[in-house]
Amino acid sequence: MNEILGATNWLGIQWHPMKVVGWLGNLLFFSRFLIQWIASERAKRVVVPIAFWYCSLLGSLLLLAYALYKRDSVFIFAYVFTWIPYGRNLYFAYRDRTKSHPKRAPHPELPPDS
């Protein structure tokens, strides 16, 4: 089975494409903490940048894919619902951005958008 998935042994670890997916999920999920920490340090107050929510969403989805591959019910349950608040926060951020930056009025010398 490992030959079919393209598994290789490196540093005593069996690597295959789904393990790479799992590690990418871990790296994205971890990076969100660094992103939030750096943004807060720069602002000298608590800040949750949009990149935090993207890393949360993508990282949790990759970890869910890996958990489904492993068929580990504990791991699956840990990530099966996390995309909901992450996606919702991205929706709110997008909605708020479009409200605070309405489309500009067309330039008087340019033809209107079609």
Q: What is the pLDDT of residues 43-95, one digit of tens each?
A: 999 999 999 999 999 999 999 999 999 999 999 999 999 999 999 999 999 99
Q: Which of 71, 77, 79, 73 lies closest to 26, judged by CA?
A: 79
Predicted structure pTM score: 0.73
Q: What is the pLDDT of residue 109?
A: 60
Residue 12 structure tokens: 């005593």
Q: What band does 8 get if pLDDT is binned at 50, 70 and 90?
A: confident
